[in-house]
Amino acid sequence: MVKKTNGDSMNADSAGSPATPASFEEAMAELAQLVTQMESGQLPLEASVAAYARGSELVKFCAGQLDKVEAQVKVLEGDMLKPFADDEAGQ
């Protein structure tokens, strides 16, 4: 009952755990690719579950990166962040 699977799922399984992204941008690109694949409806159930799990890991990674950057900005701004005004951005 063992079925041959595609190379993508084999790579993730054989590595044990997918590699940590090198950057926020790399993680976002991979996440976008996963979302596209899942939205296509062409992934088998097991691959969809694996893609969802990987996506969750990527979201956590990105959130952590954003938290680090926010902490750096707080230090640079003397912990006095100013709220972003949407009105000024459009002008």
User: What is the mean predicted confidence (pLDDT) over 64-79?
Assistant: 85
Rounded to 5 degrees, φ, ψ at 18 are -60, 150
For residues 89 and 91, give the distance between their C-alpha atoms in angstroms, rounded to a whole number.
6
CATH number at residue 55: 1.10.287.1040
- CB 87 within 8 Å of CB 45: no
User: Structural domain tally of the chain?
Assistant: 1
- Stated pTM of the model: 0.66
Classify residue 14: in a domain, yes or no.
Answer: no
Position 20 scores a pLDDT of 92
Q: Is position 10 within any domain? A: no
Domain that residue 50 falls in: 22-78
> 8-18, pLDDT tens digit by residue?
444 444 445 67
Residue 25, Ramachandran bin (φ over 0: left; ψ between -120 and 50: alpha; else beta)? alpha
Let me know if residue 3 belongs to a domain. no
Mean of pLDDT values over 14-39: 88
Question: Is residue 5 in some structural domain?
Answer: no
The 10 Å Cβ neighbour count of residue 68 is 11
* Chain centre distance of CA 58: 3
